[in-house]
Structures are given as C-alpha cells and as structure tokens.
C-alpha cells in the first residue's frame, strides 16, 4: 500500500446544484479541473464546504464516479467519507479505494461520547478495509465531537499503515502544534484554514485544506511555496473578507459572479443564499 504522499494546498470543493437542488456533475467536474489547473495538489471533495452532509451516499458515489470517469486522477482526490452511520462510512471508504485516501469525520450525532467509542468507530472501518488510507478530520466547532491528541496517538499506534494524517480545522493552532509534536514524521498535518498555513509549514506540517481555495487557490499555492510573512498577509486579507459571511454561500456567490452562472448561488437547505447586504461584502 503506497504512502499518501500529499502536501500543499487542497480545496474542499464546493458542490454545485441545479434549480431542482440536484447535484450538477458537469459543473462539478469543470470546477475540479479548474482548481487543479490553479495549482491545488489535491481535491478534498465531500467535506464541510462541499455540503457533504446534505448529500446522500448515492449522490456522493455518482459524483465521484463522474470525476474518475472523466479524467480526474484518483491520486488527486481525497473524498470525505465520515458519516454518523458506520455502514455508510465503510461503504464510502470502500468506494474511494482508488483515491489518494479519505478524509474521515468521527461519528458526530451523539455528543459526549467516550474516546473508547471513537476509537472503536475508526477501528471498525479500518478492520473492514485494512488498505484504507485515512486522514482524520477534526472540526469540533461544527461536529461537536473532536479528536483528542491521545486518540490520534492511539489510532496511529494501532493502525500505523492506515492512519496517515489529520485535517485540523479546530482553529486552535496550539492544538495543531501538540499534534505535530506528538506524532511521527510520516503523519501529515494539514490546517483547515490558510490563516495558519505558514505557521504550520514552519512547524513541519504538510499544508492546508481550506475553503477559500475555491476562489483564491493561486495565491494560497504561491504562499505555500514562498513561506513568507508577506505572502501570508496577502491571503489573510482575502480570508478575512469571507469569514464575515456564511462561508459556503459566500464562495458560491463569488463563483456565480466569475462564471456568469447564477446557478452557482444555489445551496441546499437548511443553507440559504446571501442577502443583498451580504453580497455587497464580497471582495471585488
């Protein structure tokens, strides 16, 4: 089983919908191609920014098939597969076997679950699919279920060939540093915002998986290569504009303007499009 040798800037790709709220595979493919052309090292499809938890298992499978059938290299894809249902997680992870790896949320409906319960959940998937290449997904402010450092250490020790890294979207860089210092060098740490990109790289991290790569990929990729404070300030300025807005509708508003296709504004409920006042805050 090859190592998940990913680093750099990954985009958690936004999912386009048509006016019947159905995923639009052709526009999804077009956007994925554009992001790779802009320098993204890989595409983290079906993450938070992708509205993945508003997609059915079957919809995710069809979209993945469409990308693979139309020339998106599997080694450039990192599908999100973590679901509340263990069987859905196993099914999606098996479906993504050709890809570079998977990005896996912990089961996130039940709150206050024990570390042992989370360990068993991840362990069951890996025991069923021992060739899985898993990037853990820590986003406690959304999932309300985090992945503590002690659990990461335990999982890596139990499944060293399968547990490959983490996306830390917790927004606390002290936690990211704790992970980096606790884990071996073959454990890849990505931050969930380009705000921490340069700091992560300087600490030995692998890069970032960031929502705003959907609209600012070239600049973030440049900052990855430059690793300078000046480049970091430039991407921080863009990020700061979007964090003032509902992120997913804000990104889709920008794509609607850039492409001239108003359907990019469509989000699935319970999300809603930006108000007129919010649209005025979008960077030119």
Report which secondary-structure segment, H or E, holds 163: strand 163-168
Peptide bond just before 79 cis, omega within 30 deg: no
Distance CA 270, CA 160 (A): 38
Distance CA 49, CA 236 (A): 18
**Strand, coil or helix: what is 165?**
strand
Distance CA 92, CA 107 (A): 14
Residue pair 206/6 in contact (Cβ under 8 Å)? The answer is: yes
Distance CA 188, CA 205 (A): 6
Residues catalogued as catalytic:
48, 109, 137, 167
Strand-strand pairing, 188-191 and 8-11: unpaired
């Amino acid at each position: 089983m090859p190592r998940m040798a990913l680093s750099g800037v990954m985009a958690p790709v936004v999912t386009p919908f048509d006016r019947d709220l159905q995923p639009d595979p052709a526009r999804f493919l077009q956007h994925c191609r554009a992001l790779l052309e802009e320098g993204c090292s890989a595409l983290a499809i079906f993450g938070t920014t992708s509205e993945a938890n508003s997609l059915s298992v079957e919809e995710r499978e069809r979209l993945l098939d469409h990308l693979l059938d139309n020339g998106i290299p599997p080694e450039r894809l990192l599908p999100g597969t973590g679901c509340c249902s263990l069987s859905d997680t196993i099914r999606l992870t098996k479906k993504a076997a050709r890809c570079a790896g998977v990005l896996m949320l912990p089961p996130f409906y039940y709150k206050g679950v024990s570390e042992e319960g989370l360990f068993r959940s991840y362990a069951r998937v890996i025991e069923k699919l021992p060739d899985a290449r898993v990037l853990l997904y820590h986003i406690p402010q959304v999932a309300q279920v985090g992945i503590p450092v002690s659990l990461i250490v335990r999982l890596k020790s139990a499944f060293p060939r399968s547990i490959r890294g983490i996306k830390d979207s917790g927004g606390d860089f002290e936690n990211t540093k704790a992970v980096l210092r606790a884990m071996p060098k073959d454990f890849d740490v990505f931050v969930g915002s380009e705000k921490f990109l340069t700091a992560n790289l300087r600490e030995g991290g692998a890069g970032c998986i960031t929502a705003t790569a959907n609209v600012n990929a070239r600049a973030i990729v440049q900052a990855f290569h430059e690793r300078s404070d000046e480049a970091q300030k430039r991407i921080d300025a863009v990020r700061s504009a979007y964090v003032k807005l509902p992120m997913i509708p804000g990104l889709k508003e920008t794509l609607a303007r850039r492409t001239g296709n108003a359907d990019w504004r469509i989000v699935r409920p319970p999300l809603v499009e930006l108000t007129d006042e919010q649209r005025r805050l979008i960077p030119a």
